[in-house]
Amino acid sequence: RALPFIAIVALFAGCTSMTPYGPSAVADLAPTKDSKVAGTVTFTQKGDKVVVQAKVSGLAPGTHGFHVHEKGDCSSGDGMSAGGHFNPEAKPHGPQTAPHHAGDMPSLKADAGGRAKATFVLEGVTVSPGPTSVVGRGLIVHKDPDDYRTQPTGNAGARLACAVIRAS
C-alpha cells in the first residue's frame, strides 16, 4: 500500500531540518609537565571541510602555536610522544593560505586572563576514517607563536598541552 501524500511530505520536511554536519571528534587538552594549560577542542565534519572550535585556558597572554600531531600519544609528560606535525601529503610547514601540513592550524590568541577561544575551518583533513583523518592523532598547544616559516615546526617552542583526538 502506498504511503499517504501527507506522510511523504512530512518525511521530506523532516529531512530538510537535519543538521548538515557529519561526524565529530573531541580533544581534551591536559597540561604537560610544569604547565597549567588545559581545554577542549571539537572537530566537526561539514562537507569536505572540518570546523574546529577551541576553548583553552592557562596560557600566557599572546599567540601560541596550535597543531595536530602525527601520534595520538601524550604519555611522555612533555608532549614529545605525539611526534611531529600530522603531514600525510608531505607538504612544507606553512599557514592555511599556502601549502601546509594537514596538522598546521591557525594560532591561538590568549587574552590577558590566559584564555583563548577560536573557531575556524580546516581544509585537507577529515573526521571520517581515512588517511587524512584527525581522529587518533595528537593535538598540541605550544608556548610560542608559530612563525609559519621554520621547517618543519614553525619554531613554536615547548609543548604546553597535549590531547588525543577521539571520535565523539
Catalytic site includes residue 146: no
Task: Single out the catalytic residue among 64, 93, 100, 137.
Answer: 93
Provide the b/e sequence for 83-119 (b: ≥16 CB within 10 Å).
bbbbbeeebebbbeeeebbbbbbbbbbbeeeebbebe
- The SS3 call for residue 112 is coil
Which of the following is catalytic: 67, 100, 137, 146? 67
Q: Which of 64, 100, 101, 137 is catalytic?
A: 101
The catalytic position among 64, 100, 137, 159 is 159
- Quick check: is 1 catalytic? no
Asked about 64 being catalytic, the answer comes back as: no
- CA gap 167, 23 in Å, rounded: 8
Active site residue 100: no
**Catalytically annotated residue among 100, 104, 137, 146:** 104
Cell 612533555 identifies what position?
A: 78
Q: Which entry of 64, 100, 142, 146 is annotated as an active-site residue?
A: 142
Active site residues: 67, 69, 85, 93, 101, 104, 142, 159
